[in-house]
Amino acid sequence: MTPPLRLPPVIGHRGAAGRAPENTLASLRRAAQLGASWVEFDVRLSADGAPVVMHDSMLRRTTGAPGRVSTTPMATLASLDAGAWFDPRFAGERVPSLEAALGCVRELGLGANV
């Protein structure tokens, strides 16, 4: 019998969305720095079917770009600035692929709710 999964009482929402731009690698890193052992983040598919870490269906709020995630190719999504809207210190933070986010989670030793 598999033992039940024991989740921590606090899981970083979209990384550390109150301290870094949500659903970015910077946000995942900040959650770990703050002591989170797990993070939650969202995934959508790009126009070419690549899984990308993004909550909203539209790009404008977190990147300033027009359009939908689902109609934008991954190469374009990966070039968008997903940090400047949150704070100028995060300018240049990119929209990560799911692969990049999972690599970051693994590197940081975090659990993930995707």
Indicate the domain borders of the chain: 12-113
Burial of 109 (0-12, 13-18, 19+ CB in 10 A): exposed
pLDDT digits (tens, 9 = 90+) for 46-66: 999 999 999 999 999 999 999
Instruction: Give the global pTM.
Output: 0.92
Query: pLDDT at residue 4 above 90?
Result: no
Among the listed residues 55, 85, 108, 111, the single catalytic one is 55
pLDDT digits (tens, 9 = 90+) for 67-97: 999 999 999 999 999 999 999 999 999 999 9
Closest CA to 68 of 86, 50, 46: 46
Q: Is 13 a catalytic residue?
A: yes
* Residue 25 near residue 104, CB atoms below 8 Å: yes
Closest CA to 114 of 30, 6, 11, 33: 11
Q: Which fold has domain 12-113?
A: TIM Barrel (3.20.20)
pLDDT digits (tens, 9 = 90+) for 11-40: 999 999 999 999 999 999 999 999 999 999
Among the listed residues 13, 29, 30, 44, the single catalytic one is 13
**Residue 74 neighbours by CB distance under 10 Å:** 18
